[in-house]
């Protein structure tokens, strides 16, 4: 579960920029979410696997996405970190090169 400030900003980010789908579970009375504050505890960041990190980052730049780390920054080359509208870090990586 992600705690978000403004669904009008965050949902388009995840759906239109990252290609995710909103399944509408918020309207399903039988669906339940795990509280990340209970065991097993939550996460440090989200990871998205892509075929081409550089191509994905080029697209993110064109869409005005905020970067924490670009693929050639720092010692860990070939992976990137972007931020969603609420500041959550999202790792962009290719599983074959990590």
Query: 91 catalytic, yes or no?
Result: yes
Looking at 26, 61, 62, 91, which residue is catalytic?
A: 91
DSSP secondary structure letter of residue 7: H
Q: How far apart are the first and last CA of the chain?
A: 26
By annotation, the residues acting in catalysis are 91
């Amino acid at each position: 579960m992600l705690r978000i400030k403004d669904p009008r900003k965050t949902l388009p980010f995840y759906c239109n920029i990252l290609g995710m789908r909103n399944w509408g579970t918020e309207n399903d009375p039988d669906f339940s979410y795990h509280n990340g504050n209970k065991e097993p505890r939550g996460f440090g960041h989200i990871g998205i696997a892509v075929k081409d990190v550089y191509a994905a980052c080029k697209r993110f730049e064109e869409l005005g996405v905020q970067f924490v780390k670009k693929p050639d920054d720092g010692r860990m080359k070939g992976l990137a970190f972007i931020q969603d509208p609420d500041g959550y870090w999202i790792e962009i990586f290719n599983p074959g090169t990590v």
